[in-house]
Amino acid sequence: MRIGFFAHKKETAVQPEHTDYAEEKVEKKVPHKSVVQVYFPDRNYTLAYYNDLFDLDEGDRVYVDGKLAGQLGIVVEVNYNFKINLSRYKRVIALVDTTVHGEFFLTPKYVMTFTPHTLAPSQIVRWYKAPPTEEDAFVSGSDDSSFPLDHMEDMDIRPAIRGRGYDYYHGNHVKYLCLDGTKGYAIVQGTEAYEVEFQYVDGHISDLTCTCFCSYHCKHEYATLLVLQDILAEIDRSYEEEFKKSGYVACLNKQTFVSVAIMEQNTGRLKL
């Protein structure tokens, strides 16, 4: 099934009117300072935060600093009339971009798009985890080995971990997968949201890594590759031309797509 959908939440810049397009400039809006009440579903309570970075609305998803850093919060109240002691308030540090637009297709588990930059990894990762802090430092390496995706038995993985990977696959723990050219990326929900990256070239998988930092191939990676097999099989059956044109596919968990991209929008168009 094909879906055409567009939702735009708010303007982030004002475009002045000019007849000379060579001299057009984008004037950035200065956000309105506010004190916002933020509800944290995982903790089931609400706290007040100072915000001077974004124009926030009720329903916006945000991240904050302080003791609830890393927890996804939902703005439930915005106040513009205030005078506070800043030393007593923590701040809103990130606003989650929930705007989506493009053409989407339904599979049994996912909403799929072949529109480049739509449901991009840099956007979707914030739906699941907070932005990195200054203390976060990531490094990775590769032994240049590879194995064919169609022969997963050639993957160097322990049997017990392979079994857990099957469980994660069948339990729909792979929430998101994107293949952009040869570069693959996935989000797998475990104890936290883990990021899996890989290269897919001529049917072979290489440079396979996961942020769970196991020193060996893990269940998150194995589950991701099982989903990749399913997605590529679905493309071969029904969407070969769409994928051939763009070289891009992104697949997002249906429940997440509906709850974030549709239920939280106040405007937009949906065509089935």
For 94-112, write each residue's pLDDT tens digit. Answer: 999 998 988 999 999 999 9
Instruction: Indicate whether 57 and 175 sit together in one domain.
Output: no
Q: What is the mean pLDDT of residues 153-157?
A: 91
Instruction: Indicate whether 214 and 117 sit together in one domain.
Output: yes
> Is 129 inside a domain boundary?
yes
* Contact in structure between 30 and 54 (CB atoms under 8 Å): no
Instruction: Indicate whether 179 and 57 sit together in one domain.
Output: no
Cα 179 to chain centroid, rounded: 13
Instruction: Indicate whether 67 and 145 sit together in one domain.
Output: no
Q: What is the mean pLDDT of residues 52-80?
A: 96
pLDDT at res. 22? 44
Instruction: Indicate whether 162 and 210 sit together in one domain.
Output: yes
Instruction: Give the separation between CA 248 and CA 255, rounded to whole angstroms.
Output: 22
* Contact in structure between 82 and 49 (CB atoms under 8 Å): no
> Is 230 inside a domain boundary?
yes
What's the total number of domains in the chain?
2
pLDDT at res. 145? 87
Instruction: Indicate whether 89 and 106 sit together in one domain.
Output: no
> Is 139 inside a domain boundary?
yes
Instruction: Indicate whether 74 and 187 sit together in one domain.
Output: no
**CA dihedral sign of residues 210, 198, 237, 156:** negative
Instruction: Indicate whether 204 and 247 sit together in one domain.
Output: yes
State both tokens at 4: 């055409």
pLDDT at res. 270? 61
Q: How far apart are the first and last CA of the chain?
A: 8
For 190-215, write each residue's pLDDT tens digit. Answer: 999 999 999 999 999 999 999 998 88
Q: Vertex 235, ends 234 and 236: CA angle to 5°?
A: 90
Instruction: Indicate whether 189 and 220 sit together in one domain.
Output: yes
pLDDT at res. 264? 64
pTM attached to this predicted model: 0.84
Instruction: Indicate whether 174 and 219 sit together in one domain.
Output: yes
Instruction: Indicate whether 129 and 200 sit together in one domain.
Output: yes
Domain that holds residue 68: 28-95
